[in-house]
Amino acid sequence: MERTDAATLVYVSYGWRDFGTGHLDEVCDECGFDSRCAEFDVDLRTAIAALCHLAGDSRAGSRPEPGTWSADEYVAHCLDQVGEAISVIDNGRPEPKAVVSGLEDADHQVKSLLSRVAGTDSHRQIDVGGPFPASPAWMLAHLLHDLEHHVLDIRRGYAKLGLERVAGRTIER
Ligand SMILES: [Zn+2]
């Protein structure tokens, strides 16, 4: 993913592998996400709850450094991703994105999306013009990875802000 607005560059490396499960699985050695272990109905809403909690922090509007998004910016991106996943799964294309007005709305819409996906073939192929077809299961995995990865990004950002101008000692082992 690449995003360039407000002179900000954010990169996340996404990787999909064929582990012999019959479809590509998404695994990230930075945040530990592994789509083979995902329980979408629980994990997606847990990730949204974590974002909700983090978004309530008084530092949510602060960037930890000029080139790193604030929590508010990460949350806006996550809402965008929820909208895109809904559009791809429901309409077979990423645009126009479903409108998601906030994290509470994201939770409602994801809950409803999960029930719609449960009633269909979650591995049906959707051609979104990428290097390989998507599927509802693939979209949910990718969305979950995005949300969980950015929960970690926000936590890192807060830690960085918390360490600013505070004296301390570090050791290396
Ligand atoms: Zn990750």
Distance (angstroms) between ligand 1 centre and the Cα of 85 equals: 17
Determine the pLDDT at residue 13. Answer: 62
Determine the pLDDT at residue 12. Answer: 57
The pLDDT mean for the chain works out to: 90
Among candidates 97, 93, 57, which has minimal Cα distance to 77? 97
Question: Which segments in the chain show pLDDT lower than 70?
Answer: 1-14
Distance (angstroms) between ligand 1 centre and the Cα of 158 equals: 18
**Angstrom distance (rounded) from CA 29 to CA 13:** 10
Specify the CATH class of 38-163 in words.
mainly alpha
Determine the pLDDT at residue 11. Answer: 55
Distance (angstroms) between ligand 1 centre and the Cα of 151 equals: 10
Among candidates 64, 69, 85, 96, which has minimal Cα distance to 140? 85
Distance (angstroms) between ligand 1 centre and the Cα of 51 equals: 15
153: Cβ–Cβ under 8 A, 6 or more apart, which residues?
68, 69, 74
CA 112 to chain centre: 18
Distance (angstroms) between ligand 1 centre and the Cα of 167 equals: 31
**Angstrom distance (rounded) from CA 82 to CA 40:** 13
**DSSP code string of 39-68:** -HHHHHHHHHHHHHHHHTSTTTT--SSTTS
27: Cβ–Cβ under 8 A, 6 or more apart, which residues?
15, 17, 33, 34, 35, 36
101 φ/ψ angles, rounded to the nearest 5 degrees: -90, -10
**Domain locations in the chain?**
38-163
Distance (angstroms) between ligand 1 centre and the Cα of 23 equals: 19
Distance (angstroms) between ligand 1 centre and the Cα of 138 equals: 15
Determine the pLDDT at residue 46. Answer: 98
In this structure, which amino acid lies at residue 73? E
Strands 2-3 and 25-26: unpaired
Distance (angstroms) between ligand 1 centre and the Cα of 162 equals: 23
Distance (angstroms) between ligand 1 centre and the Cα of 139 equals: 15
